[in-house]
Amino acid sequence: MMHFPLVFFDAKRVISLTPVRTEIHFVASLVMNTLLVPQTSIAAFAMANPFWSADHGIATWFHERLTPAFVSVLHAFTEFGSGEWIGIIMFLLVLFFAWKRWWPSLVTLIVAVPGGMLMNEWLKMVVQRHRPFVDGPFVDWSGYSFASGHTIGATLLYGQLLLFVLPALKGRHWRLLFVLSAASLVLLVAFSRIALGAHFLTDVLAAILFGIVWLVFCLIATKPMRTRMVSHTGLPVISEPVLARVESKENLAQSFPR
């Protein structure tokens, strides 16, 4: 059974905490407990790698066909999942959410994207699978291979952004367009990591799977915070996060008599 820090607080302090602060403690404790859950079965599967033949066959096929022009295109694709690019987008989003005071969305974003990427780095240290190629004219990699950091970063970032905007989109065509755009960016990053020889096929597939599972986990884990924050403002419970509608509802709440 998990024990969260709040159970050790003095009752008066707990009552005085704002809903945001209380839920941040809850989510942070839940994330840390999740990161500490043993991943023996996952690590054993990854190290045994029953798909070793397919992994190496695909990696070798691409490695033998790399050209300077092809590598340049692949590097452009892979940048959409790089730590630098994700850091820039995260910085802008954090500033925007803080300015708008959309605290549930801010907490969800921080837990989902950096939290998931941190989990992936921990998984790499557990599995310690080596990369397909460490020598060659187009190879300059460091660290371990399973699971792909670029791919899970792209899955988390674009997946979470998709969850933010989907509830605000009314037209079916717009929803389909945004889903396909997010999926295309993730697949382009995944393909580039395989073609460049940075990862095996199972590395990127596992990263996509882990990213989706983590996003679902974050959506469920932060639901009490979203519900409490909406209830605290006296507004009806709405699905999180409807960015385009939150501001108008907040303005409406301010006009209510107290």
pLDDT in tens, 108-138: 899 999 999 999 999 888 888 888 876 666 6
pLDDT category at 37 given cuts 50, 70, 90 is very low
The pLDDT value recorded for residue 63 is 83
Is the residue at 15 inside a domain?
no
Q: Which residues of 100-125 are buried (b: 16+ CB within 10 A; e: fewer)?
A: eebbbbbbbbbbbbebbbebbeebbe
For 66-115, what is each residue's pLDDT tens digit? 888 988 899 999 999 999 999 999 999 999 999 988 888 888 899 999 99
**Looking at 123-127, 151-155, 242-246, which range is the least confident one?**
242-246
Query: Is the predicted pLDDT of residue 237 greater than 90, yes or no?
Result: no
Cβ-in-10-Å burial (0-12, 13-18, 19+) of 38 comes to exposed
Full domain range(s) for residue 222: 54-254
The pLDDT value recorded for residue 194 is 92
Between CA 80 and CA 153 the distance in angstroms is 9
For 162-202, what is each residue's pLDDT tens digit? 999 988 888 889 999 999 999 999 999 999 999 988 889 99
Closest CA to 149 of 195, 185, 113, 111: 113
Helical ranges in the chain per DSSP H: 11-16, 19-35, 40-48, 52-63, 68-78, 83-100, 103-127, 149-165, 172-195, 201-221, 223-232, 243-254
Given a contact cutoff of 8 angstroms between Cβ atoms, the answer to whether 111 and 147 are in contact is no
Is the residue at 133 inside a domain?
yes
> Of all residues in the chain, what percent carry a pLDDT higher than 70?
65
The pLDDT value recorded for residue 157 is 96
Q: Which residue has the higher pLDDT, 131 or 41?
A: 131
Which residues 6+ apart lie within 8 Å of 142 measured at CB? none
**Looking at 26-40, 99-113, 146-160, 165-179, which range is the least confident one?**
26-40
Closest CA to 37 of 112, 122, 145, 114: 122
In the predicted model, what is the mean pLDDT of the chain? 76
Is the residue at 161 inside a domain?
yes
Query: Is the predicted pLDDT of residue 249 greater than 90, yes or no?
Result: no
95: tokens are 């500033």
Is the residue at 106 inside a domain?
yes
Q: Which residue has the higher pLDDT, 102 or 161?
A: 161
pLDDT category at 245 given cuts 50, 70, 90 is very low
Is the residue at 209 inside a domain?
yes
Is the residue at 1 inside a domain?
no
Q: What is the DSSP track for 105-131?
A: HHHHHHHHHHHHHHHHHHHHHHH-PPP
Query: Is the predicted pLDDT of residue 36 greater than 70, yes or no?
Result: no
Is the residue at 188 inside a domain?
yes
The pLDDT value recorded for residue 38 is 44
Q: Which residue has the higher pLDDT, 140 or 197?
A: 197
The pLDDT value recorded for residue 11 is 37
Is the residue at 148 inside a domain?
yes
Region of 136 (left: φ > 0; alpha: ψ -120 to 50; beta: rest) is left
The pLDDT value recorded for residue 228 is 65
Query: Is the predicted pLDDT of residue 243 greater than 60, yes or no?
Result: no
How many structural domains compose the chain? 1
Between CA 147 and CA 128 the distance in angstroms is 10
